[in-house]
Amino acid sequence: MNFWDWQNRQLLQTLKNDSTPINAIAISPNQKHIASSADNTIKLWKTPPI
């Protein structure tokens, strides 16, 4: 999962997973967690400091 500064077109950080494609994400209201999904499972991530 890549985090981009879209205005400057710069890659800020990459989170590694087990190479499973990610089809959807959701960000928590406080922006501290991300949920991702691809294969009928949910992975939870702590949002990295940027």
Encode pLDDT of 18-32 as tens digits: 667 888 889 999 989
Confidence band for 10, pLDDT divided at 50, 70 and 90: very high
Pick the closest to residue 1 from 31, 9, 10, 18 (CA basis): 18
Total domains, the chain: 1
How far, in Å, CA of 13 to CA of 44, rounded? 17
* pLDDT-above-70 percentage for the chain: 92
How far, in Å, CA of 33 to CA of 27, rounded? 6
In a domain, 5, yes or no: no
Enclosing domain of residue 35: 23-50
In a domain, 4, yes or no: no
In a domain, 37, yes or no: yes
In a domain, 14, yes or no: no
In a domain, 3, yes or no: no
How far, in Å, CA of 23 to CA of 40, rounded? 10
pTM reported for the whole predicted model: 0.63
Burial class (CB in 10 A: 0-12, 13-18, 19+), 45: middle
In a domain, 17, yes or no: no
In a domain, 8, yes or no: no
